[in-house]
Structure 1
Amino acid sequence: MFLSDASTARSDKTLLAYRTVSQTVMDILGGDVPLRSITRPQCRDLLTKLAMVPLHARKRWPDRSALEAISLSEGQRFQTMSPAHLNGHMNKFSSLLNWATKEELIARNPALGLRIHDPVPPRDKRRPFSAEQLRKIFMAPIFRGCVDDENGYAVPGSNRPTRGRYWIPIIGLYSGLRLNEACQLDTADVRMVEGHLCFIITTASEHGADDKRLKTLSSERIVPVHPVLLDLGFEAYVRARRSANDMKLFPELSSRHGLYSHLFSRWFARFLVSCGAAAERTCYHSFRHSFRDACRAARMDRDIVMALGGWSSASDSSGSVSDSYGRGHSPAALFQSISLVRYEGIEWSTLADSP
């Protein structure tokens, strides 16, 4: 009932995560235990037991329960869940109990607030890319010339394919879009607004499709295309997609678990290794952190930064696209600000001159 509740929209990936957590929790608490009988001490014991479950236990012992996996791992040096991962399990379990409370199935949530201390501050979960990492990323063959943008993306060659694997990292760096926001773009989501080419970040579709997801309400927004993207020929790329009648801006990307970013994220992790830019706590989302730092370096107005990044702001929590047309910032003001985003050490001229 909880996962099928129509009042909450969840992606396939989120549903899979909830089911995985549910199975682990049932392994520990007992599959037949009634919700009404679950106590606070049981929830504390669940927290303790989750901290003992080896990583990838189901892959290692597919026919064994979580408790059996704990027993099998005794005396061995298997890695266990990180505090963030463990707390994520407890949060999902607590969400179920919160729902049960609202539905009057139980009187209160016995797992409320239960979590372990995470020594890594939230701002350090993901780091921005360093200047050297950015240089390595954008000097890689996929940007400077490769065999192809599939299996040959890391091999130097004479081809310069400009599809998703080329554009999406540049979009992340200069627009601050989340990975799935960029991967799921419809071709119609890039259009002129008051004289400026803009990304329209929205779940709406001109084709009536229901395949786009946003993280929060404030994620829905307008982001003008940065001058670097324009200089590299992004507008011509968009026109080519329209001429080809491609509904999706990056038609080669497919949705997996309800997200167009799923497979791209895995590829990007391999790409970072291939170009020597892989480092602890950096991933595609590090582009978003780099973008935020670049906005700070440009001394950009904070409300405009919040609007560009789709971050919630104390002065405006609605976050709808219509804000940019009425009481929000105009596309001209947003474009003027985003044009201030710069990064040292990246040579774009050779890319702009490429065929």
Structure 2
Amino acid sequence: MGRKRIHASSKVKGLRRSGVSGLWEARKVIPADLRAMFGKSEFKVALNTKDENEAVRVGAPILADWSDQIAKAQDRSVLASAPLQRQAIDRDRAFAAIQRWTSFRLKAALNEAFNGGLEPAPVGFSDEMREHVQRVGDLRSGDWSKVADFDAKLAEALNSQRIMCDPLHPAIPAMRGWFASALADVENGIMEYRRGRLSDAPDASSPTPVLPVTVELPVNPSPAAHPVAGMKLLDLLDRWEAAKGKSEKRHRGYVTRLSEFLGDPDVSQITPLQMDSFLIELKRFPNTKRDIEKTPFMTAIAEAEKRDDYRVLHIKTVWNWTVVYKALFEFAVDRDLMRKNPAAKMMKKPAADESEERDPYEAEDLATIFKTPMFQGAVSALGYRNTPGSLITKDHKYWLPIIALWTGGRVEELASLDVSEIKTEEEISFIDLTGRPLKGLRRVKNASARRIIPIHDRLIALGFMKYVAERKSGLLFPELDGDAVKMSVKFGKWWGLWCENVAKVKGEGLDDPQKVFHSFRHSWKRAARMSDAKEEIHDLISGHKDGNSVARGYGRGVDLMTLKAAMDLIDFPAFPTLPK
């Protein structure tokens, strides 16, 4: 077995590239005598790029900030080198002081927001909002190490409440957990005020129950004897997202529907029987392309049952709803908001044969799709482009279905493509997803999805590489209007409505609920199995786990020429000629 190599940057000390992934990372070792102040031995962060110049641009400011933090810590260490006569701190008084500080900070921010003094919250899930959610989540989980001068902030909070303390006081480690929770409440509360949600700040004289935190004391404050009252489902979801990061929009929809069905109860009052009752109705919930978001849950079911095209959610979709509930309530149990998880035994995972959720597009479907005016010529680039004409608009609506069919890629992988991920080596063009993260924006589904996808000759003949060259840099489809989690979320809905609009028979063919954009991937996989391409090779191209075993055994698995040859063996005879 070869040893993992580390390649250091020749431009900036502290940057290095892993020989396994090829991605750059920033790293700085913390001096041994300061590690107790930071709670770790080094700073390290992945820069998610293979380009050294980009790594320098992103990593240099991070390294400078770390150096500044270490320098400040060294200054504090020098000041503390002389022996000090420190006063002992009463444990209960310290805990109460942190609660008073929390109330004071929130009330001051509330009054500032009330008088228009706070800057409005950022729109959408911006970098600032993403950093805020991550920071609050880290603090709630007890990870204070990423907050600069954390101990100094803790000492300052205590001093403001007339408890004399310096950052090197021996009681500081025992209070870090309390202060991390308090700081998370303050930062989250201020963000809520910036959003215009001016709810009352908690009163320190009768504080709301404090979530239990881990502190470095032999005996912790007694946790609440009973679950916290007053916590609603959507409030719980907000806390869950703050701890783990922003979830998908559909997850909030799942929780909203449950809250609506149960009558918006306190989470501590939800029972397994209520979840069983909801599951019975959920299995009757309609699978429809219509916008029923504002239609009451039971009304949507009743109205759908009267329609001739009434279809219920697929069993795997129902399971996906329950998975969200299981995770959400498990979080609540961990935070002592509930005694037990009411969704723990709500539903068993469907068997593999039940979970095959989508059907492939048939040859007739493909002919219907690509013979429409959107691909052959329309009168306008607006709407569904269903009126024949001479205009062909080669944007994401045009290219995404074509690329999905000829590559087998997932919609989010393709919708979030960057021009830099379209590469050419040895005169072979390909999509390089090997640098994608597993979490956050532009993530891939799993490690196997980090792969090379050769670009089929048919795509090249259709002018795809010319389109890429015209884009030059940035997102391949910048006009896509996504959300904080997915670039493709609105396009997926648009595609469903477009299929409904052009389908020859309502509820059949393209309009079949079992056929969605992901059906292109199923069509590609079926065509791959019917071709002369070896299964282990087309598994590598599609990113299926079975195929990834080849890559694990032989580095990248096979050379680019072999991947390209296999890709060009895959064909769709029903695909019509498209105007250039």
Normalising by structure 1, what TM-score? 0.77
Q: Is 2:494 the counterpart of 1:256?
A: no
Which structure has the larger Rg? 2
Query: Does the 8 Å contact 1:226/1:338 carry over to 2?
Result: yes
Partner of residue 531 from structure 2, selected from 292, 295, 298: 298
Match of 1:343 in 2: 572
Query: Does the 8 Å contact 2:272/2:346 carry over to 1?
Result: no
Query: Does the 8 Å contact 1:213/1:259 carry over to 2?
Result: no
Query: Does the 8 Å contact 2:429/2:455 carry over to 1?
Result: yes
Match of 1:140 in 2: 372
Query: Does the 8 Å contact 1:202/1:214 carry over to 2?
Result: no
Q: Is 2:412 the counterpart of 1:174?
A: no
Local SS of the residue matching 1:198: strand
Match of 1:151 in 2: 383
Partner of residue 560 from structure 2, selected from 324, 331, 348: 331
The verdict on how the C-alpha distance between 1:149 and 1:312 changes in structure 2, with shifts beyond 3 A counting, is: farther
Query: Does the 8 Å contact 2:322/2:346 carry over to 1?
Result: yes
Q: Name structure 1 gaps, 5 residues minimum.
A: none
The verdict on how the C-alpha distance between 1:117 and 1:185 changes in structure 2, with shifts beyond 3 A counting, is: closer
Aligned residue identity for 1:268 = W
Match of 2:295 in 1: 60
Query: Does the 8 Å contact 1:154/1:271 carry over to 2?
Result: no
Q: How does 1:103-114 map to 2 (within 5 A)?
A: 109-114=341-346
The verdict on how the C-alpha distance between 1:220 and 1:113 changes in structure 2, with shifts beyond 3 A counting, is: farther
In the alignment, the residues of structure 1 paired with residue 425 and residue 351 of structure 2 have an alpha-carbon distance, to the nearest angstrom, of 45
| Structure 1 residue 342 displacement after superposition | 0.5
In the alignment, the residues of structure 1 paired with residue 510 and residue 240 of structure 2 have an alpha-carbon distance, to the nearest angstrom, of 39
Aligned length: 327
Aligned residue identity for 1:308 = I
The verdict on how the C-alpha distance between 1:264 and 1:22 changes in structure 2, with shifts beyond 3 A counting, is: closer
Match of 2:498 in 1: 271
Report Cα offsets for 1:70-119 as digits up to 9, x if no partner.
79959x85868525343332221112233445667667644234228979
| Structure 1 residue 227 displacement after superposition | 0.6
Report Cα offsets for 1:296-334 as digits up to 9, x if no partner.
0014322222221122227639x8xxx799342322221
Q: Is 2:455 the counterpart of 1:225?
A: yes
Q: Is 2:317 the counterpart of 1:82?
A: no
Report Cα offsets for 1:160-198 as digits up to 9, x if no partner.
332222221111111001112111111111111444211
Normalising by structure 2, what TM-score? 0.49
In the alignment, the residues of structure 1 paired with residue 376 and residue 331 of structure 2 have an alpha-carbon distance, to the nearest angstrom, of 51
Local SS of the residue matching 1:135: helix
Match of 2:229 in 1: none
Query: Does the 8 Å contact 1:175/1:226 carry over to 2?
Result: yes
Match of 1:241 in 2: 471
Local SS of the residue matching 2:324: helix
In the alignment, the residues of structure 1 paired with residue 556 and residue 324 of structure 2 have an alpha-carbon distance, to the nearest angstrom, of 37
Local SS of the residue matching 2:575: coil
| Structure 1 residue 30 displacement after superposition | 5.9
Aligned residue identity for 2:539 = M
Query: Does the 8 Å contact 1:201/1:222 carry over to 2?
Result: yes
Match of 2:544 in 1: 311
Local SS of the residue matching 2:423: strand
The verdict on how the C-alpha distance between 1:306 and 1:109 changes in structure 2, with shifts beyond 3 A counting, is: farther
Query: Does the 8 Å contact 2:536/2:547 carry over to 1?
Result: no
Report Cα offsets for 1:263-305 as digits up to 9, x if no partner.
2223322333326462412121111010000110014322222
Higher relative contact order, chain-length normalized (CA < 8 Å, sep 6+): 1
Match of 2:241 in 1: 3
Local SS of the residue matching 1:223: strand
Q: Percent identity?
A: 25
The verdict on how the C-alpha distance between 1:72 and 1:300 changes in structure 2, with shifts beyond 3 A counting, is: closer
In the alignment, the residues of structure 1 paired with residue 496 and residue 281 of structure 2 have an alpha-carbon distance, to the nearest angstrom, of 31
Match of 1:197 in 2: 429
In the alignment, the residues of structure 2 paired with residue 228 and residue 324 of structure 1 have an alpha-carbon distance, to the nearest angstrom, of 31
Aligned residue identity for 1:82 = L
In the alignment, the residues of structure 2 paired with residue 222 and residue 21 of structure 1 have an alpha-carbon distance, to the nearest angstrom, of 35
| Structure 1 residue 257 displacement after superposition | 5.1
Local SS of the residue matching 2:318: helix
In the alignment, the residues of structure 2 paired with residue 264 and residue 258 of structure 1 have an alpha-carbon distance, to the nearest angstrom, of 13
The verdict on how the C-alpha distance between 1:95 and 1:299 changes in structure 2, with shifts beyond 3 A counting, is: farther
Segment drifting more, 165-174 vs 85-94: 85-94
Local SS of the residue matching 1:3: helix
Report Cα offsets for 1:149-169 as digits up to 9, x if no partner.
333722222223322222211
Query: Does the 8 Å contact 2:434/2:451 carry over to 1?
Result: yes
Aligned residue identity for 2:515 = T
| Structure 1 residue 225 displacement after superposition | 0.4
| Structure 1 residue 44 displacement after superposition | 2.6
